[in-house]
């Protein structure tokens, strides 16, 4: 994956942040929104695109555009850097190969230990009962 080519396909939009902040927040567009058109991207092949479509299934628009936003900082530049970093991490996570789990047998010692503890617990409970007089 070529990060510089990927970054060239990103589109940014800056809007006003929500929430409190006084007069400053009403005149400065510090919230950064990142737009990435996954459907028309030339960075990924069809197999990678399919994998990313499955990974981002709830985050994509109907047109196949991923939108991420960041308004953590008061700085527009910092928010742009944060949202770009988050985007790259998400892409790497989406392309990561999932490990195939190989089922293994439960070791004999583990089974014995579990049954021994079960027996001890059962005896402890049984000893709490009052003795029966015959």
CATH number of the domain within which 74 lies: 3.30.160.20
Residue located via tokens 């080519």:
5
The mean predicted confidence, pLDDT, of the chain is: 89
Q: What is the 3-state secondary structure (H, E, C) of 29-74?
A: CCEEEEEEECCCCCCCCHHHHHHHHHHCCCCECCCCEEEEEECCCC
Does any domain span residue 112? no
Residue 30: count of CB within 10 angstroms of its CB: 22
Does any domain span residue 81? yes
Report field, pTM of the whole predicted structure over 0.85: no
Give the structural domain span for 40: 3-95
pLDDT in tens, 26-69: 778 888 999 999 888 888 898 998 999 999 888 888 888 999 99
When divided into structural domains, the chain yields a total of 1
Does any domain span residue 71? yes
Does any domain span residue 20? yes
Q: Please report which confidence band the pLDDT of residue 25 belongs to, taking 50, 70 and 90 as the band edges.
A: low
Rounded distance between C-alpha atoms, residue 13 and residue 70, angstroms: 11
Task: Quote the pLDDT of residue 113.
Answer: 98
Task: Quote the pLDDT of residue 64.
Answer: 87
Q: What are phi and psi of 42, to 5 degrees?
A: -100, 0
Q: And the tokens for 67?
A: 């939108």
């Amino acid at each position: 994956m070529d990060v510089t080519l990927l970054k060239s396909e990103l589109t940014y939009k800056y809007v006003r942040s929500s929430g409190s902040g006084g007069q400053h927040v009403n005149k400065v567009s510090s919230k950064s929104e990142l737009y990435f058109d996954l459907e028309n991207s030339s960075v990924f092949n069809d197999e990678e695109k399919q994998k990313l479509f499955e990974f981002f299934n709830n985050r994509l628009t109907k047109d196949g555009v991923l939108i991420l936003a960041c308004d953590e900082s008061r700085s527009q530049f910092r928010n742009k850097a944060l949202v770009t970093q988050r985007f790259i991490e998400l892409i790497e996570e989406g392309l990561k190969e999932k490990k195939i789990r190989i089922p293994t047998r439960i070791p004999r010692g583990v089974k014995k230990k579990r049954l021994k503890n079960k027996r001890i617990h059962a005896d402890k409970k049984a000893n709490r009962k009052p003795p029966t007089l015959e």
